[in-house]
């Protein structure tokens, strides 16, 4: 066979649902020479990473660490550790990733009650309260930031409901951590998970998780073994949750370097400033998209700043439009999933990519693509609308 040449992919601006572009400092950190996964220096790096992750999660939870796998492994780690065969769970689904939580919960042998909202909508807390009162579950699971629809669920009321009925609240924060407020301690979240490749400006490969005292107590009180050996927190705690740092698996050293630098960047900027940056760029993008005739798929008042799901205008071909964005402008946006397949695009401005230059670039490219399909768009309309928002914000 012919040996392939060195890697040299065409440059892309990753403005889909993830991964987003990694920050240059993160990529530089990944070139740091490797250490052994039990080297005293690396153990210090683990401790630093955990402490910074607690600050970014806004929690005091001792069991806070990055799972050595992608975001879905964080989801699975939360659910398989807290649910046993015969347990009851209520899973709130309002899109693709809520459905995934229900699927994983069901595979534990738990009795799962699925609450559904139409894609793009969110739950009324009273609806959840009635279900929890009726079912009396051990676990309530909900998505904070639904990546498939761009909808944001208010989590704090669900935390109160879970505690009122002695249930544990598990929350998907994959598209929210590092972009918008996430408050496990203040909101009553017992276990939360995220990912490295969105708001934290790192490559894919790690899934930050945090478990509160009630969740840890439930884990220790299990009557059966966790169905996943690799994700069994009772053994992972010996590596990430103990001063002794006993061997569990070979950690992805370079990815830990990466997330350590990503967390440093978050804390240097400040969480409130970072949240404000994402909100400002979202407002500019939203103004530009509306000027181009593109409407949001998520309900008003519940839209995610880092993930903008918008309806594709009539007459514009989904696949052909995204292909032109990629081939001619080097910009990736996400296709719709499930109920939004073929009818929506998902535009992510997360972490390092939540910048005015990214907003302006994607709006200018979208304008050309839409005009190519015959849309009546005046040149400069989208960019002009965004610039007005920036001028007002400054």
Cβ contact 171:192 at 8 Å = yes
Residue 198 near residue 112, CB atoms below 8 Å: no
CATH number, position 176: 3.40.640.10
pLDDT confidence of residue 325: 98
DSSP output for 104-159: HHHHTT-EEEEEE--TT----HHHHHHHHHHH--SEEEEESEETTTTEE---HHHH
132, 165 Cβ separation under 8 angstroms: yes
Q: Are 210 and 255 in a shared domain? A: yes
218 within a domain of the structure (yes/no): yes
Query: What residues does 141 pair with on adjacent strands?
Result: 91, 170
Residues 338, 318 share a domain: yes
**Does 17 fall in a domain?**
no
Q: Give the number of other Cβ atoms within 10 Å of residue 373's Cβ.
A: 16
CATH classification of the domain holding 370: 3.90.1150.10
Residues 319, 359: one domain?
Answer: yes
Residue-range definition of the domain harbouring residue 159:
24-267
In a domain? residue 359? yes
Question: Which of 201, 233, 267 represents a domain boundary (last residue)?
Answer: 267
Q: Do 216 and 276 lie in a common domain?
A: no
Looking at the structure, tell me whether residues 341 and 358 fall in a common domain: yes
Give the dihedral sign, CA 56/27/356/294: negative
- Please tell me the predicted confidence (pLDDT) of residue 242: 66
Q: Which of 216, 250, 267 is the last residue of a domain?
A: 267
Domain-embedded: residue 14? no
* pLDDT tens series, the chain, 394 aa: 899 999 999 999 999 999 999 999 999 999 999 999 999 999 999 999 999 999 999 999 999 999 999 999 999 999 999 999 999 999 999 999 999 999 999 999 999 999 999 999 999 999 999 999 999 999 999 999 999 999 999 999 999 999 999 999 999 999 999 999 999 999 999 999 999 999 999 999 999 999 999 999 999 999 999 999 999 999 998 888 767 788 889 999 999 999 999 999 999 999 999 999 999 999 999 999 999 999 999 988 999 999 999 999 999 999 999 999 999 999 999 999 999 999 999 999 999 999 999 999 999 999 999 999 998 888 999 999 999 999 997 6
Q: Give the span between the Cα atoms of 274 and 96, in whole angstroms.
A: 27
Residue 91 CA to residue 31 CA, distance in Å, equals 41
Q: Are residues 158 and 59 in the same domain?
A: yes
Cis peptide before 19 (omega within 30 of 0): yes
Write down which residue in 234, 267, 300 finishes a domain: 267
Same domain, 290 and 260: no
DSSP one-letter string for 179-248: TS---HHHHT-SEEE--SSSTT---S--EEEEE-HHHHHHHHT-SS--S-STT-HHHHHHHHSSSS----
Report if residue 1 sits inside a domain.
no
Of 394, 18, 17, which is closest to residue 205 (Cα–Cα)?
18
Are residues 158 and 286 located together in one domain of the fold?
no
Q: Tell whether 208 and 235 lie within a shared domain.
A: yes
pTM (2 d.p.): 0.96
- Domain presence at residue 18: no
Contacts of 206 (CB under 8 A, 6+ apart): 66, 67, 68, 69, 70, 195, 196, 252, 255, 256, 258, 259
The pair of three-digit structure tokens given for residue 143, joined into one six-digit string: 């998505």
- Give the total number of structural domains in the chain: 2
Residues 211 and 86 both lie in one domain: yes
Residue 19: predicted pLDDT: 97
Residues 284 and 341 in one domain: yes
Is 7 a member of any domain? no
Query: Does 312 lie in the same domain as 227?
Result: no
Assess if residue 5 is contained within a domain: no
């Amino acid at each position: 066979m012919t040996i392939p040449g060195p890697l040299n992919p065409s440059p892309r601006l990753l403005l889909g649902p993830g991964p987003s572009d990694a920050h240059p400092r993160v990529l530089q950190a990944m070139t740091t020479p490797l250490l052994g996964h039990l080297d005293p220096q690396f153990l210090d790096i683990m401790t630093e990473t955990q402490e910074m992750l607690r600050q970014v999660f806004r929690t005091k939870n001792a069991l806070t660490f990055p799972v050595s796998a992608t975001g879905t492994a964080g989801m699975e780690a939360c659910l398989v550790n807290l649910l046993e065969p015969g347990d009851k769970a209520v899973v709130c689904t309002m899109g693709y990733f809520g459905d995934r939580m229900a699927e994983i919960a069901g595979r534990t042998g738990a009795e799962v009650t699925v609450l559904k909202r139409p894609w793009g909508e969110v739950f009324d807390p009273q609806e959840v309260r009635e279900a929890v009162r009726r079912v009396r579950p051990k676990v309530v699971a909900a998505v904070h930031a639904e990546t498939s629809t761009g909808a944001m669920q208010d989590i704090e009321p669900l935390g109160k409901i879970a505690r009122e009925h002695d249930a544990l609240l598990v929350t998907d924060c994959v598209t929210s951590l590092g972009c918008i407020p996430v408050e496990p301690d203040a909101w009553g979240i017992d276990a939360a998970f995220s990912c490295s490749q969105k708001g934290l400006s790192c490559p894919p490969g790690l899934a930050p998780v945090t478990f509160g005292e009630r969740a840890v107590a439930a884990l220790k009180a299990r009557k059966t073994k966790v169905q996943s050996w690799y994700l069994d927190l009772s053994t992972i705690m010996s590596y990430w949750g103990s001063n002794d740092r006993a061997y569990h698996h070979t950690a992805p050293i370079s990815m830990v370097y990466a997330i350590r630098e990503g967390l440093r960047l978050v804390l240097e900027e400040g969480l409130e400033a970072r949240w404000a940056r994402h909100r400002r760029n979202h407002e500019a993008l939203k103004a530009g998209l509306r000027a181009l005739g593109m409407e949001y798929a998520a309900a008003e008042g519940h839209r995610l700043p880092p993930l903008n799901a918008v309806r594709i205008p009539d007459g514009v071909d989904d696949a052909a439009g995204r292909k032109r964005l990629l081939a001619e402008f080097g910009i990736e946006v996400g296709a719709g999933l499930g109920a939004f397949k073929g009818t929506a695009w998902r535009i992510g401005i997360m972490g390092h990519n939540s910048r005015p230059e990214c907003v302006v670039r994607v709006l200018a490219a979208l304008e050309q693509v839409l005009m190519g399909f015959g849309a009546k768009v005046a040149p400069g309309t989208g960019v002009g609308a965004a610039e007005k928002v920036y001028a007002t914000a400054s």
